[in-house]
Amino acid sequence: MIAFKNLFNNHDANKYYNIFVKKGELEYIKFSNLEKYGYLIEHCFTTRKGGVSTGEFSSLNLGLKKKDSRENVIENFRRICRALNIELSNVVLSDQVHGTNIRVVTEKDRGKGILVDNDIKDCDGLITNTKNVAIVTFYADCVPVFLFDPEKRVIGLAHSGWKGTLEQIAANAVNIMVTRFKCSPENIVSAIGPSIGKCCFEVGNEVKEKFINKISWSENFCTKKDEEKTYIDLQGIVKQTLINSGLRSENIFISNICTKCNKDMFFSHRGDMGKTGSLAAIMQLK
Ligand SMILES: [Zn+2]
């Protein structure tokens, strides 16, 4: 077991846990509440470990928009896809802008952003009910939100940075699952993956006030550091947003891993002062 720093356990203790997978040099994380449905879905959150990129992208950078070589990033994708038994040609990438747009994708979208040009623009989340369409979103401190409805067999991923958390992109994702696919929120299982934790996500008063003005209850997730600075628990806000959308608390797993505290394991925008690669959340219906 890898010893992570600053694992916080004051969110509801539940029976679920992170699953650390090591295949050769490749290391990635699964979540036990999703892995329970491993016969229906494949999923993971990547780490820095096991790729071919070098320098600030060392080594499993999956961001094609970074200044890393395309060849290296594609090789990194090949490695993680092979480990997950996903065809590279099934992969569909988001086009993240810290917004709230979410796109429903189908078999026609396979390969977009990686093997063919991407017409998916301004898109911070992907949803599908189509088998063998591997949805992928990107991170380096922002909060990855995994959603799965085992009844309707629908998967979703949302990139919830502080702006997305403020605009409650996770609620938008649930809403699309409900309206487009008739999902019942109480059936949806969610994992909130590794991201910058409340130990490290320090903001100025301007950002804190944006939260409190927009989401009054978010004050419960703010911890004052001093007159100028506040720590915000983004993972906690995302969980409460999902509960407010009708998800059952016991169906939501918070990974509780801080990417900045563990920057040797994860790309961290703040930890690496902006010079870093991209982690990925990956999900596919089998
Ligand atoms: Zn931290």
Going by the DSSP 8-state scheme, the letter that residue 234 receives in this structure is H
Residue 130 lies in a domain: yes
Residue 227 lies in a domain: no
- CA 68 to centroid of chain Cα atoms: 21
**Rounded to the nearest whole angstrom, what is the distance from the C-alpha of residue 164 to the centroid of ligand 1?**
20
Checking phi first, is residue 266 left (phi over 0); if not, alpha (psi -120 to 50) or beta? beta
CATH of the domain at 82: 3.60.140.10
The span from the CA of 200 to the CA of 190, in Å, is: 23
Within a 10 A sphere around the Cβ of 143, how many other Cβ atoms?
28
Surrounding ion ligand 1 within 5 Å at CB are: 6, 197, 199-200, 258, 260-261
**Rounded to the nearest whole angstrom, what is the distance from the C-alpha of residue 222 to the centroid of ligand 1?**
15
Per the CB < 8 A criterion, the answer to whether 235 and 200 are in contact is no
What pLDDT is attached to residue 14? 58
For residue 147, give its domain range: 18-196+250-285
Residue 217 lies in a domain: no
Within a 10 A sphere around the Cβ of 248, how many other Cβ atoms?
14
**Rounded to the nearest whole angstrom, what is the distance from the C-alpha of residue 263 to the centroid of ligand 1?**
9
Token representation of residue 167? 């605009």
**Which tens digit of pLDDT belongs to each residue from 99-135?**
999 999 999 999 999 999 999 999 999 999 999 999 9
Residue 268 lies in a domain: yes
**Which tens digit of pLDDT belongs to each residue from 204-216?**
999 999 999 999 9
Residue 231 lies in a domain: no
% of the chain with per-residue pLDDT over 90: 94
Residue 180 lies in a domain: yes
**Rounded to the nearest whole angstrom, what is the distance from the C-alpha of residue 197 to the centroid of ligand 1?**
5
pTM confidence score? 0.96
Domain count for the chain: 1
**Rounded to the nearest whole angstrom, what is the distance from the C-alpha of residue 138 to the centroid of ligand 1?**
19
**Which tens digit of pLDDT belongs to each residue from 224-263?**
999 999 999 999 999 999 999 999 999 999 999 999 999 9
Q: Which helix (H) or strand (E) holds 243?
A: helix 234-244
Helix, strand, coil content of the chain in percent (nearest 5): 30, 30, 45
The span from the CA of 57 to the CA of 73, in Å, is: 9
**Rounded to the nearest whole angstrom, what is the distance from the C-alpha of residue 7 to the centroid of ligand 1?**
9
Is 70 exceeded by the pLDDT of residue 13?
no
**Rounded to the nearest whole angstrom, what is the distance from the C-alpha of residue 191 to the centroid of ligand 1?**
19
Token representation of residue 180? 């487009």
Token representation of residue 170? 């996770």
**Rounded to the nearest whole angstrom, what is the distance from the C-alpha of residue 110 to the centroid of ligand 1?**
36
DSSP, residue by residue, 208-220: HHHHHHH-GGGGG
Residue 117 lies in a domain: yes
CA distances from 82 to 23, 76, 87, 88, 194 (A): 10, 10, 7, 8, 22
**Rounded to the nearest whole angstrom, what is the distance from the C-alpha of residue 246 to the centroid of ligand 1?**
29
What pLDDT is attached to residue 28? 97
Compare 8 and 264 and report the one with higher pLDDT: 264
**Rounded to the nearest whole angstrom, what is the distance from the C-alpha of residue 134 to the centroid of ligand 1?**
30
What pLDDT is attached to residue 11? 47
**Which tens digit of pLDDT belongs to each residue from 137-161?**
999 999 999 999 999 999 999 999 9
**Rounded to the nearest whole angstrom, what is the distance from the C-alpha of residue 57 to the centroid of ligand 1?**
20
What pLDDT is attached to residue 261? 97
**Rounded to the nearest whole angstrom, what is the distance from the C-alpha of residue 88 to the centroid of ligand 1?**
33
Residue 185 lies in a domain: yes
Is 90 exceeded by the pLDDT of residue 9?
no
Is 70 exceeded by the pLDDT of residue 6?
no
What pLDDT is attached to residue 15? 83
**Rounded to the nearest whole angstrom, what is the distance from the C-alpha of residue 5 to the centroid of ligand 1?**
8
